[in-house]
Amino acid sequence: MAKRKICVVVTARPSYSRIRTALTAITNHPDLELQLVVAASALLDRYGKVSEHIKQEGFHINAQVYMVVEGENLVTSAKTTGVGLMELATVFDNLAPDIVVTIADRHETIATAIAAAFMNIPLAHVQGGEVTGSIDEKVRHAVTKLADYHLVATQRAAERVIRMGEDPASVFVTGCPSIDIAAQVLDEPDLTINPFEKYGGVGAEVNISNGYLVVMQHPVTTEYDRARKHVTETLHAVRDTGLPTLWFWPNVDAGSDGTSKGIRSFRELEQPANIHFFKNIPPEDFLRLIYHSRALIGNSSVAIRECSYLGIPAVNIGSRQLGRERGPNVVDVDYDRERIMQAIQTQVEAPRPEKVTLYGDGHAGERIAQTLADIPLKFTKRLTY
């Protein structure tokens, strides 16, 4: 019997992290054949060119699609998605997959979802049913309504997807594959790398041997023009703690220009002595750095997901993760340098939080692959009420 062709579209570095163990499990599954499409910011130098990394990890890329329309504003987010939709339709027409997999909720992922839905290809959505702020909220639930299968991270997410009118038989709680990597990191937790040597970066070379912070702050698209102001608050707070800090550059997004500009301007003017800035690095090293840190600061979902599993204190700033389920490791705080600094102090001084499996137990990738092998190949559905 021919293997099922599973086409996974990766459009950004974080999406890759969140699907990688599933890619491996699909590759290894006797009944599945992986078709990997890499597109959008995953191809771009400015965002760490994760396509190269994907190849180095041994995956074959079936097609790559440049689709990011430059401008980093709201108009170009829409146009990027339009270009992607046009081209992914052609890619799917030529690859003829049995199932398409789309990941999470970045704006351009809806292009994958529409192309598959319109072409009567069964669509599996990984990581639906969560609640957050920003445009991601609209995209995520719209993709749920386009998808035939829902491979969700948590029980709560499954409940929400079903309440939105999806057939319970189409919803599977697999856990999040990003936790699989966290689980691997917990198995081999030693920090064997020197991040400055391995990844370069710019700014002060800080001493991380006595504890340090990790920061990752993304722009929030519905708060476009405030992105610069917001990141500046965090920069001041982190600088003022005086704690050695590894700061990781944000993703491509409407507004990333505001965030990037805020960071660049702060660096030029303030030359913070305790902060070193990095571009993206592979998730294992990133998670090991976090695992050995005193806290993760910013608005990355890593604070909510992986850090709950790893038991790492997190200071979550602003609205981006609003509504997402939290473990006991997270303290929320508004865009305010004073409060951010206080929250950092609190988290750094508190005892390590408990490890919880809210977002998965480390076997999500395998569960996703097996589900993709088992589900019927259907592409019609109807609201359940």
Site residues for a second copy, 343-382, by CB under 8 A, read 379-382
Beta pairing, strands 275-278 & 202-203: antiparallel
User: Minimum distance between the CB of residue 25 and a second copy, rounded to whole angstroms?
Assistant: 26
Q: Name the residue nearer to a second copy (CB basis): 352 or 378.
A: 378
Question: Does the footprint of a second copy cover residue 117 (CB under 8 A)?
Answer: yes
CA distance 287 to 275: 18
Smallest separation, CB 322 to a second copy (Å): 7
Assess 43 for contact with a second copy (CB under 8 A): yes
Which backbone phi and psi does 258 adopt, to 5 degrees? -60, -50
Contact flag: residue 87 with a second copy (CB under 8 A): yes
* 197 near a second copy (CB under 8 A): no
With respect to a second copy, which residue has the nearer C-beta, 117 or 231? 117
Contacting residue, 135, 181, 302, 310, with a second copy by CB under 8 A: 135
Residue 78 as a binder of a second copy (CB under 8 A): the answer is yes
CB-nearer residue toward a second copy: 11 or 21: 11
Using rule CB under 8 A, residue 98 touches a second copy: no
List C-alpha distances in Å: 177 to 15, 21, 95, 103, 140: 10, 6, 25, 11, 17
Is 68 a binding residue for a second copy by CB under 8 A? The answer is yes
CA atoms of 136 and 300, how far apart (whole Å): 13
Scanning 18-26, 59-67, 272-280, 340-348 for contacts with a second copy by CB under 8 A, the matching segment is 59-67
Residue number with CB closer to a second copy (69 or 186):
69
227-266 residues near a second copy, rule: CB under 8 A: 252, 254, 257
Count CA within 13 A, CB hemisphere, residue 297. 34
CB of 235 to a second copy, least distance (A): 19
Q: Is 77 in the site for a second copy (CB under 8 A)?
A: yes
Task: Say how far apart CA 326 and CA 328 lie, in whole Å.
Answer: 7
Q: Which of 323, 334, 338, 349 binds a second copy (CB under 8 A)?
A: 323
Among residues 129, 140, 31, 48, the alpha carbon closest in space to that of 16 is found at 48
Annotate each residue in 267-286 with x if it binds a second copy (CB under 8 A) or - if it does not, as one string.
Answer: -x------------------
DSSP state of 169: G
Which residue, among 149, 148, 154, has the nearest Cα to 176 in the 3D structure?
154
Q: Cβ contacts of residue 178 below 8 Å, gap of 6+?
A: 17, 18, 283, 302, 305, 306, 359, 360
